[in-house]
């Protein structure tokens, strides 16, 4: 079975933007995952969230290039999100973890990870650890 890791906005932006606090460790983890042949899974919500941050931090052209690179890279898989998945994410993560400030993007990421059997995330967002996933940062 191929090794799989989930790519969160927090790690992707940190890896791509040198001025980010966790740049060095996030960049090293991301590069290692690619070189070691991991299948890197994410969602359209992570793409959107990341693109918005890339626009602010890197500018329009580099933001576009980052999103396109993930779409074209065969090691990366963007899994679809439908209404049923959104409702499951709300019920399982946002409703149950009322003491946490999980975003909808976080909750959908967690739900995808559970459904796909993914236990590890490229993330610097501590919410992944709180939700019971291993973080690679």
CA distance 110 to 121: 10
The pLDDT tens digits for 101-131 are 999 999 999 999 999 999 999 999 899 999 9
Q: Are 26 and 63 in contact (CB under 8 A)?
A: no
CA atoms within 13 A on the CB side of 70: 26
Full strand arrangement of the beta sheet holding 4-7: 76-78, 39-42, 4-7, 120-122, 134-136
Q: Whole-angstrom Cα distance, residue 18 to residue 81? A: 30
- Written as tens digits, the pLDDT of the chain (137 aa) is 579 999 999 999 999 999 999 999 999 999 999 999 999 999 999 999 999 999 999 999 999 999 999 999 999 999 999 999 999 999 999 999 999 999 999 999 999 999 999 999 999 989 999 999 999 87
DSSP H stretches of helix in 3-126: 9-16, 23-35, 44-58, 60-72, 83-89, 104-116
The whole-model pTM stands at: 0.94
- What is the overall mean pLDDT for the chain? 95
pLDDT at 1: 53
Hey, is 77 helix, strand or coil? strand
% residues pLDDT > 70 (the chain): 99
Tell me, rounded to whole angstroms, the distance of Cα 6 from its chain centroid.
6
């Amino acid at each position: 079975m191929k090794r799989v890791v989930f790519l969160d906005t927090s790690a992707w932006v940190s890896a791509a933007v040198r001025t980010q606090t966790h740049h060095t460790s996030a960049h090293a983890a991301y590069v290692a995952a690619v070189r070691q042949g991991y299948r890197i899974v994410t969602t359209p919500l992570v793409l959107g969230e990341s693109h918005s941050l890339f626009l602010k931090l890197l500018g329009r052209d580099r933001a576009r290039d980052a999103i396109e690179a993930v779409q074209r890279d065969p090691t990366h898989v963007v899994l679809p999100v439908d209404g049923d998945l959104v409702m499951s994410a709300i019920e399982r993560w946002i409703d149950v973890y009322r003491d946490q400030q999980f975003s909808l993007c976080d909750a959908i990421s967690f739900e995808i990870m559970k459904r796909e059997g993914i236990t590890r995330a490229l993330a610097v967002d501590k919410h992944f650890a709180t939700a019971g996933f291993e973080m690679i940062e």
